Amino acid sequence: MFINKRLNTLNYYPFERLRSLLKGITPPSGRPIIMSLGEPRHPPPSFVRDILDVNSDLWGRYPPIKGTSAFRAAATDWLIRRFHLPDGLLASDRHVLPVAGTREALYLMAHLVVPCRKSGERTAVLIPNPFYQVYVGAAVMAGAEPIYVPANWRTGFLPDFDTLDSAPMLRGKVVAHPPSLIDRISLAFLCTPANPQGAVATLDYLKKAISMARRYNFVLAVDECYSEIYDDSPPAGALQACAELGGDLTNVVVFHSLSKRSSVPGLRSGFVAGDPDILAAFALLRAYGGASVPLPVMAAATALLQDECHVTENRTLYRAKVDAAADILGTQFGFRRPPGTFFLWLRVGDGESAARLLFQNAGIQVLPGAYLAQPDSRGVNPGRHYIRVALVHDLEVTTWALERLRRILTPGARQD
């Protein structure tokens, strides 16, 4: 009776649902090959351990919420280099904050910028559909109404904000000037490169989304955690779009993580950058409830942000696995080279059935796409035909798994 009732409105977490789906199935032999979880398996740079060891005396100190000046400077310099930002756009003491992994920051951001009501109605949060599950948890637990915006093949696998209904939302009330849906939005989540589909937003797309956020006064939260895992061209960033719009960062925050870029998910290190007024308030909120980043971790993260060699090597390893997927799958299952991320978003008929078949016949664990999406207005789950496959293992294991996947899921193919 003491649990927040909003928690009851959330679906089970995707990986809990997957455990239930696969319960009772014994894989053929050995340990399962986990391709359901986006957990990088490439070895991190060796200097990470050295820096943690050198700074081990700092485990005995409380870390400051705003981090160290060295970390903020490294993050600021990286953003300027990576996204070709003009001098003066970012100041490390105003525009950057460290976070204990971006999942924590994405979740807490909703509790900062989502009011109970906007335009006299319950506030709304835009979420791409399919989505990263934390967006939903953040919106619901902040008391907002989640609005799932289609992000399917028709929209280029990015949310089409132009489809938002601008008609008045009466909700059974007699209101002289009822607000439209768009008037109720306080926060919009956008992921680029997108998880799970791998789509990448263009600069024009980002500029349009930013302009919309300012026009209707909501916060655009851009999850750029996969920005360094790309195929041909470096993805554009929201701060880059802000620069092209004149350099104003109002209403925009971006989220970056070292988990994928540097293969250190266990380090739990990332940062948020953007609108200085939002970040000042965010620092205050995190002082009460956020997890601060330990000083040895911040020292290692600073060094990682200052080094690009390991990032290039990491990206090359992922690219080789995408090459293998292209050779093995061709055009089967709607395969397309993802412009970003290390996920394949494969159309297999029934995602849950495919996941069970792969686990039962080869011990390959993938995630049904339906677990990353909500049914649309017609009751149709846009992820139901898909599975998400994470290319996180080495090339040999990945190649074997993809060959088995193709044989198992192709009608009439030999299973041996």
DSSP codes, 67-113 = --HHHHHHHHHHHHHHHTPPTTS--TTTSEEEESSHHHHHHHHHHHH
Q: How many CB atoms lie within 10 A of CB 223?
A: 27
Instruction: Report the distance separating Cα 334 and Cα 354, nearest Å.
Output: 15
- In Å, the largest CA–CA distance within the chain is 69
Q: What is the pLDDT along the chain (416 residues), one digit of tens a residue?
A: 678 788 877 777 889 999 999 999 999 977 899 999 999 999 999 999 999 999 999 999 999 999 999 999 999 999 999 999 999 999 999 999 999 999 999 999 999 999 888 888 899 999 999 999 999 999 999 999 999 999 999 999 999 987 775 544 434 343 344 558 888 999 999 999 999 999 999 999 999 999 999 999 999 999 999 999 999 999 999 999 999 999 999 999 999 999 999 999 999 999 999 999 999 999 999 998 878 899 999 999 999 999 999 999 999 999 999 999 999 999 999 999 999 999 999 999 999 999 999 999 999 999 999 999 999 888 999 999 999 999 999 999 999 999 999 999 997 554 44
Instruction: Report the distance separating Cα 141 and Cα 111, nearest Å.
Output: 8
In this structure, what DSSP letter does residue 171 have? T
Q: How many CB atoms lie within 10 A of CB 368?
A: 27
CA-based end-to-end distance of the chain: 53
pLDDT, residue 93, reads 92
Instruction: Report the distance separating Cα 316 and Cα 195, nearest Å.
Output: 20
Taken as a whole, the chain contains a residue count of: 416
Contacts of 252 (CB under 8 A, 6+ apart): 210, 213, 219, 220, 222, 238, 239, 242, 274, 275
Instruction: Report the distance separating Cα 104 and Cα 186, nearest Å.
Output: 19
pLDDT, residue 343, reads 98
Structural domains in the chain, sorted by start: 5-43+310-409 (3.90.1150.10), 49-307 (3.40.640.10)
pLDDT, residue 13, reads 85
Long-range CB pairs of 395-399, under 8 A, 24+ apart, other chains included:
395/317, 395/320, 395/321, 395/324, 397/33, 398/321, 398/324, 398/325, 399/321, 399/324, 399/328
Phi, psi torsion values for 30, nearest 5 degrees: 65, -165
pLDDT, residue 413, reads 52
Give the strand pairing for 124-129 and 121-122. unpaired
Q: How many CB atoms lie within 10 A of CB 123?
A: 22
b (16+ CB within 10 A) / e for 265-281? bebbbbbbbbbbebbee
Instruction: Report the distance separating Cα 401 and Cα 399, nearest Å.
Output: 5
Spatial contact of 116 and 125, defined as CB atoms under 8 Å apart: no
Spatial contact of 159 and 149, defined as CB atoms under 8 Å apart: yes
